[in-house]
Every structure is written in C-alpha cells, then in structure tokens.
Amino acid sequence: MLRVARRLGLRVPDDLAVVGVNDDELVASVSEPPLTSIALPTRAIGVAAAELLDGLMAGRPAPREPLRFAPLGVRARRSSDVLAVDDRAVVEAYRFIQANASRPILPADVHARSRLPRRTLEVRFKAQTGRTIGQAILHAHVDLLAHTPLTPAERCGFRHPENLHAAFRKVTGMTPRAYRRRLTLPASGDPPPP
C-alpha cells in the first residue's frame, strides 16, 4: 500500500493513513514511514484451527458460525500519525518536530523554521494541539525512546540518563523500561511478559 501511495503521489500519513495487519516487526520497521499494524492472536488462531481440524477428522460437524478472534491491539507507528488541523504553520512545525525527534532540538529550532512570529506560532500550536512546542518536542523524544530500543538519551537532547528518566516519568508516569514492557505486544498471541 505504501508503494501504491507513492506511485499516486500521496504522502503517508499527510494525505493517507496506512494500517497493516499481523504486526510483523521487520516489515513495520523497514517500511518508510514505519507501518502501523494490527497485532493478531496468531497462537490462539492456530490452536483453534488445530482443534477444529481434529474435530473434523474425528467426524464432528463443523461449527455453524465462523470463529472470531479479537485483535490484540494496534501498534501505532508513523504511517498513521495524522495531525488533523487546518493550520499549515502548525502542521509544518509538528512535522519538523517529528522528523527531528532523534536529535536534540529546541523550541527555537522550530520557531526558526516558521514564517510566523514566535509568540503567534506558540499560541496557534497550543490551540491546535493542546501542547506547547516544548511539550510536543518532549513527547516526540519520549515516544521515540518508547518505540526504539536502546536509543541513547543524548540522541533526544538529554545529556544525562537521569534527566531522560525524569522527563519520561513526567510525561508517562513510568520509567522507559516499564513503558516499553507495557507497549510490548506478543507476536504469537502469547501473553505479554510480566
């Protein structure tokens, strides 16, 4: 779908949000942008299929209704990261923050990229997103750390790991490790680690 969107000149996620299925970490991570995906309970589906086949082979009738399995959840990545606002300056500022989350950036860097006065951009950004530009940068750094294993604190603008942990706890209410564990979805339908 991402290739088709590119051929049609559509920008993902600006013009089109894309969500995949089966949450294959390799496929999701090598896609550009990284692909949001629905995690399926593949282990439970496999067990049910084996039990159904065993029953059919033993002469039991097939179920009248199809078997249904609820997804385990959605792993949100950039392919569906849509900011639904009409203010082009806010969208450009937000995109700049997202594109540069892996390096140290400051609100002044965002202001320098805008044609608007600093205060005007701040007011419009806060009105449209509910966050200041500084808060949006912090959330982008934290989100990157939460979804990218072993990202050094320095890459997100933190000189010391304790500063990163304090900021992360302020935004999420937990440590980066606890946050990652909470977000970890099992690939095979097994329960997540404790």
| Tens of each residue's pLDDT in the chain, 194 residues | 778 888 888 878 777 888 888 888 777 777 778 888 888 888 899 999 999 999 999 999 999 999 999 988 888 777 777 677 778 899 899 989 988 887 888 999 999 999 999 999 999 999 988 899 999 998 887 777 665 554 455 556 666 667 777 777 787 788 777 776 665 544 444 444 44
CB atoms closer than 10 angstroms to residue 50: 10
Q: Which residue is it, tokens 């290739």? A: 3
pLDDT per residue over 32-49, tens digit each? Answer: 788 888 888 888 999 999
In angstroms, how far is the first alpha carbon of the chain from the final one? Answer: 35
Token pair in block for residue 44: 């439970």
DSSP 186: P
What is the phi-psi region of residue 187: left when phi exceeds 0, alpha when psi lies from -120 to 50, beta otherwise?
alpha
Contact 37, 31 (CB under 8 A): no
Residue range 83-183 forms a domain whose CATH class is: mainly alpha
Say whether pTM exceeds 0.85: no
Cα separation, 7 vs 181, whole angstroms: 37
CB atoms closer than 10 angstroms to residue 69: 12
The amino acid that residue 128 corresponds to is: Q
Q: List the domain boundaries for the chain.
A: 1-82, 83-183
CA angle 165, 167, 171 (to 5 degrees): 115
